[in-house]
Amino acid sequence: VCTPALTSVRIDPEELAAAASELLLDAIAGRGESCREIVIGTRLVTRASTGPAPASR
């Protein structure tokens, strides 16, 4: 356990697995593309390690 609790980015593992599976099955079936953009949703989980920026001088 970290102190203070660290802010992190949460990625839905089911969404990630589904995208990876689709890419793999497409590649096996010969439908793979040399380049494809995949967007996976994320969420910022704000915890105690996040704070305001220092005041300007």
Q: SS3 for the chain, per residue?
A: CCCCCCCEEEECHHHHHHHHHHHHHHHHCCCCCCCCCCCCCEEEECCCCCCCCCCCC
pLDDT of residue 26: 93
How large is the average pLDDT for residues 6-29? 95
Query: In this model, does residue 11 exceed pLDDT 90?
Result: yes
Q: Are 45 and 7 in contact (CB under 8 A)?
A: yes
Tell me the per-residue pLDDT of 23-55, one tens digit each, with 9 for 90 and over.
999 999 999 888 889 999 999 999 999 888 888
pLDDT of residue 17: 97
pLDDT of residue 41: 93
How large is the average pLDDT for residues 17-21? 96
